């Protein structure tokens, strides 16, 4: 979990011994702290593969563009894969691992089961990258780059992706169930989920803007359209037509997360919130007329530049969550299984 205060406390612990008369105290402590901290996002670099795999970006983009040209929804699916990966053990491609008789992955956890998509696209990218640069590029980095390219191809902002992550040799079914925010959370609990990963409230609001693309299943928004009062009546009626109140009926029926431009990455998601037309309960929790979070929603609804800028910052911050670097983890030959 990335939070601000432990690093500050550790910094203080280093400074005080350095002022002591004996340097013998400092050296072992400094070594201990370095081992304790381990790898950090500081080990990542936008030029990590500039020599070892110069064709990485063009290779990834080609496959992503081809996939999205066949099904635009896949752009949102790939972006969601990255989110669900980073929120569990960190951005380490653990979400891509298949279950085996002796290994339980994260794919069948409640937030992921029969919901996450795009694994085949990541497989295609991995195969293409392996042909260009065998054994060099991690699945974790491939997912990070593919997420960026998905946003750009659908009309969103470009950013330089920090790279150098390695792939996890483990997964956590329990953490996937616990750490990925469900669509039923209150605003305070939603803030806590993001804060636990070192992400600010503004990061949360900006990253929620990823819901300007993609679709959701009836099971994800049924409670909001039937039980909540902070929803436009006409919008609720429209959504109810394809999502029956009774659980088990129409559970997998889909609705666009963005009412207006579901396949274009833009700021209309925030306009939807202001009109109380957010599809998920957690979407509409971001806007209740007054307060700081509502003011951020208003700012994004009025400025594509402001939204894009903060979304990029949020994606970079999310991509910094607990990366494996150096000799940690591995570079998988297949994204679906440990070497």
| Cα–Cα distance, 151 to 148 (Å, whole number) | 5
State yes or no: 283 annotated in a binding site. Answer: no
Report the run of H or E that residue 256 belongs to, with start and end: strand 254-256
| Cα–Cα distance, 205 to 224 (Å, whole number) | 19
Name the residue among 80, 68, 63, 47 with its Cα closest to residue 315. Answer: 80
State yes or no: 320 annotated in a binding site. Answer: no
Name the residue among 113, 156, 92 with its Cα closest to residue 325. Answer: 92
Alpha helices in the chain (DSSP H): 4-18, 23-37, 56-70, 73-86, 119-132, 139-153, 173-179, 187-195, 201-208, 218-227, 233-240, 268-274, 281-284, 292-302, 304-319
State yes or no: 99 annotated in a binding site. Answer: no
State yes or no: 266 annotated in a binding site. Answer: yes
Structure tokens, 278: 């957010």
State yes or no: 251 annotated in a binding site. Answer: no
State yes or no: 100 annotated in a binding site. Answer: no
Residue tagged active-site, from 84, 224, 281, 305: 84
State yes or no: 174 annotated in a binding site. Answer: no
State yes or no: 305 annotated in a binding site. Answer: no
Name the residue among 135, 104, 107 with its Cα closest to residue 119. Answer: 107
State yes or no: 203 annotated in a binding site. Answer: no
State yes or no: 211 annotated in a binding site. Answer: yes
281 is catalytic: no
How distant is the alpha carbon of residue 270 from its chain centre? 19
DSSP 100: B
Task: List, in order, residues 6 or more apart from 144 with CB less than 8 Å away.
Answer: 82, 91, 161, 162, 163, 165, 319
Residues tagged in the binding site annotation for substrate: 181
Residue ranges for the binding site for Ca(2+)?
Answer: 85, 88, 90, 92, 94, 106, 212, 258, 261, 266
Annotated binding site: 85, 88, 90, 92, 94, 106, 181, 211-212, 258, 261, 266
Give the active site residues.
84
């Amino acid at each position: 979990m990335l939070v601000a205060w432990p690093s500050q406390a550790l910094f203080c612990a280093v400074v005080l011994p350095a002022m002591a008369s004996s340097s013998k105290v400092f050296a072992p402590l400094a070594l201990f702290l370095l081992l304790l901290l381990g790898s950090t996002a500081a080990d990542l670099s936008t030029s990590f593969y500039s020599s070892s795999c110069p064709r990485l970006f063009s290779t990834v983009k080609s496959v992503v563009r081809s996939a999205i040209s066949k099904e635009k929804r896949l752009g949102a699916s790939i972006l969601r894969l990255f989110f669900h990966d980073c929120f569990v053990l960190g951005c380490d491609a653990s979400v891509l691992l298949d279950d085996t008789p002796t290994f339980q992955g994260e794919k069948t956890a409640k937030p992921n089961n029969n919901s996450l998509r795009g694994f085949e696209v990541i497989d295609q990218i991995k195969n293409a990258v392996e042909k260009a640069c065998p054994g060099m590029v991690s699945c974790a980095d491939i997912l990070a780059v593919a997420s960026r390219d998905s946003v750009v191809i659908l009309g969103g902002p470009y950013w330089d992706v920090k790279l150098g992550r390695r792939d996890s040799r483990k997964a956590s079914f329990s953490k996937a169930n616990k750490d990925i925010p469900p669509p039923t959370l209150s605003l305070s609990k939603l803030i806590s989920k993001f804060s636990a990963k070192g992400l600010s409230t503004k990061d949360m609001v900006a990253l929620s803007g990823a819901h300007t693309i993609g679709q959701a299943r009836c099971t994800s928004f049924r409670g909001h359209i039937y039980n909540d009062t902070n929803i436009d009546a006409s919008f609720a009626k429209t959504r109810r037509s394809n999502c029956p109140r009774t659980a088990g009926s129409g559970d997998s029926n889909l609705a666009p997360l963005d009412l207006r431009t579901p396949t274009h990455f833009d700021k209309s998601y925030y306009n939807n919130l202001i009109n109380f037309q957010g599809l998920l309960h957690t979407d509409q929790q971001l806007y209740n007329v007054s307060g700081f979070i509502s003011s951020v929603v208003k700012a994004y609804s009025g400025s594509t530049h402001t939204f894009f800028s903060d979304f990029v910052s949020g994606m970079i911050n999310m991509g910094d969550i607990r990366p494996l670097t150096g000799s940690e983890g591995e570079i998988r030959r297949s994204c679906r299984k440990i070497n």
